Amino acid sequence: MPALGGALVRLAVPDGMHIEDAVTTLRERAPDLLVTPNHIYHGAEASFAQSGVRGRSHAPHLTGVLGIIDTGVDLAMIDAPQAVLGQHAFAGAQPVGREHGSTVAALAIAHGMRVQVADVFTNGSDGSLVASSASIAAALNWMIDNSIPVINISIEGPNNAVLRELVRRAARRGHVIVAAAGNGGPLARPAFPAAFDGSIAVTAIDASGHPYRRANRGEYIAFAAPGVDLMVTSGGRAIRVSGTSFAAPLVAAEIAAHMRSPSPTQARAVIASLERRAVDLGEPGRDPVYGWGALPD
């Protein structure tokens, strides 16, 4: 794994041993290794609803490239399928198009992005869609290795040491990681990867600028963007979605429109500009509800 400067190895826990004991044992025997459980993550969505209204699609003016780590994309749900530059599977034999990743991609494309998609999801033991930290790490490493400057991750889960280190190294190299703030509610613990140092955490607001009632709050929130009852044209139909998952790609697209390649200097300049231009909706300056404020018009 070039971005980590080493290899990512998955190990099975011996029968009868608890995973925490296994991690402790490995850390004691190999203190120079980065050892962590293979955590499970979920999409940071809240709701999908068919509007029953035919969506009006238009050919977007494509101005940048955005990496998307999510589910696979169903090209039938994309009004400009030529904007999907490629799809890569990191949790199965091939990408599987699903509604979550397709909607995130549709939003990014509608805001001028061509997209490179990394599918990191598979079906869990209970039938729900899950992504492991190992698959997310492999996808993030691929994005870094292929010099994709801005990467959207509309996924939430626990703090993971490998992902934390990858995000840190990506930011140091001039990549921008934009992540959904999470939908656990105002009292929820921070959601990762949004809460990692080096990530840009995006929360959701409604059309009146009010915060999404299920959005996480905290000092890690950087920006707010529309993500409540948001109308998305997908596959020729309009759907209504809510969640921080769908606010994140709007901010990611805004940043990616000004970045052609990874650059620490350019990344700092673009983010600083967005901080200055953000519409301050809460307490003066950065606050735990809106961050620096809402994405400017």
Does the model's pTM come out above 0.85? yes
DSSP structural state of residue 241 = E
Domain boundaries, given as residue ranges, for the chain:
39-277
Q: Do residues 170 and 3 lie in contact, with contact meaning Cβ atoms separated by under 8 Å? A: yes
Give me the mean pLDDT over the 262-273 stretch. Answer: 98
pLDDT given at position 23? 62
Peptide bond preceding 296 in cis form (omega within 30 of 0): no
Considering the four listed CATH numbers 3.20.20.70, 3.40.50.2000, 3.40.50.300, 3.40.50.200, the one that applies to the domain covering 39-277 is: 3.40.50.200
Check pLDDT > 70 for residue 235: yes
The 10s digit of each residue's pLDDT in 190-217 is 999 999 999 999 999 999 999 999 999 9
The 10s digit of each residue's pLDDT in 34-62 is 667 778 788 776 666 765 555 555 667 88
Check pLDDT > 80 for residue 119: yes
pLDDT given at position 9? 74
pLDDT given at position 37? 76
Residue with tokens 């990762």: 192
Q: What percent of the chain has a predicted confidence (pLDDT) above 70?
A: 84
The two tokens of residue 217 are 């709050």
pLDDT given at position 112? 96
12: helix, coil or strand?
coil
Strands (E), 80-149: 84-89, 113-119, 121-123, 129-132
